[in-house]
Structure 1
């Protein structure tokens, strides 16, 4: 496990040397700060491509806390009003994730746009990380509504949504194909065509096979416009499992070799159910199901999870697999622990 904190004791006779050292450290802090913070990001730039005017286009720059100390985002700012920035989960604990969300301001801006996003961290140390986005906002294509919004859909159910696509320009403009992500189908129907405007109806179907979790993807409209052949349409929603598990990621802490720690996993259902088994890919994790044997079905189950550290230092992690009598596989949270022989 990494740690950014260090301590030391200095005698008064070393004052001059310490002052010199502090001066050198201060000079090097920007480089050091940028390096530890940059390590938390997996990528630093994103190209939105072509964006229709008024359409919703977002991208999440995800960062993961790799350190023992909490990480805190003080702010995130954009160099251009063409990109609106927000922060998801500004305080991030060990192995948790946060995100810097960049959204194209496609209502107020047109044409080729680019922005630099500066992310400022103030804990555990001050640091800045720069991210870069670019896009081309078209004025001749408009979606209504701005994206495909499925809202909340129960797992195992189907859903249908429609978006009106309006093009202003060439009378021969056409949508010739539609590319869809997994578990979705789509088709377009031409509604009207005049000398300067073409209107299509985009019909999107979400299959019942869609897994539980967030929908955040794109449908791509392929057109006969040789300049900007493809136009993406954002798809968002939530496929909700009848069974939920919290916390989503179970971090049992930083422990010494041989140490034992116990936390709880809460499993909820919309209807009463039984837990048949729980297992984990990571070594050392045990689940106490003694109270589940011969118990009546219930909507809330509280399961103790115990981790016994081995002798080998390092990170131990694995997905938790839960089997119930409902025949539906709930989301698989991750169990994590870190073995460190050097902790007090």
Structure 2
């Protein structure tokens, strides 16, 4: 069966229309995430330090550190969420807005149960800041009991 050039052009044009229809929603809004992150006016915050090292701790120890931060912007600071990189890392943060120039605290508790050797965990903070995400890091070297670290098999 032979298609004439007219039929071929018609099929080609139909394919172009389908492709254009697929692209149209994206042509109107180049960045699908634009406007979704904005939650009113933004501000800035500055932490006293971005990382804390607990040093060497024993397996099963629960340790905590309080990170201090300052709202260095001109708008009230609102922390929407703070999440640890695992269930062993639990942050607590102020739920009320922190006024410009005021100092706030973010407490991070780390539970070393079942952990061993060098541990590095992060806390991801979402706030009305620019950038919207800030990450803090905690570290610890967890000493595991010898019986836990080596297995002996008797025959």
TM-score tier (shorter): 0.5 to 0.7
Query: More strand per residue: 1 or 2?
Result: 1
Could you list the runs of 5+ residues in structure 2 that have no partner in the other structure? 1-30, 148-155
Q: Distance in 2 between matches of 1:72 and 1:95?
A: 13
* Structure 2 residue aligned with 1:110: 116
Q: Distance in 2 between matches of 1:46 and 1:91?
A: 25
Q: Does 1:138 align with 2:140?
A: no
Could you list the runs of 5+ residues in structure 1 that have no partner in the other structure? 1-22, 141-167, 170-344
SS in 1 for 2:112: coil
Task: State the TM-score, normalized to the length of structure 2.
Answer: 0.58
* Structure 2 residue aligned with 1:68: 74
Q: Which has the higher contact order (CA 8 A, sep 6+)?
A: 2
Aligned residues: 114
* Structure 1 residue aligned with 2:28: none
Using a 3 Å threshold, how does the CA distance of structure 1 residues 91 and 126 change in structure 2: closer, same or farther?
farther
SS in 2 for 1:57: strand
Q: Distance in 2 between matches of 1:90 and 1:126?
A: 20
Decide which structure has the larger Cα Rg and report it. 2
Q: Is the 8 A contact 1:120 1:126 kept in 2?
A: no
Query: More helix per residue: 1 or 2?
Result: 2
1:89 Cα offset (Å)? 5.2
* Structure 2 residue aligned with 1:46: 52
Moved over 4 A (4+): none
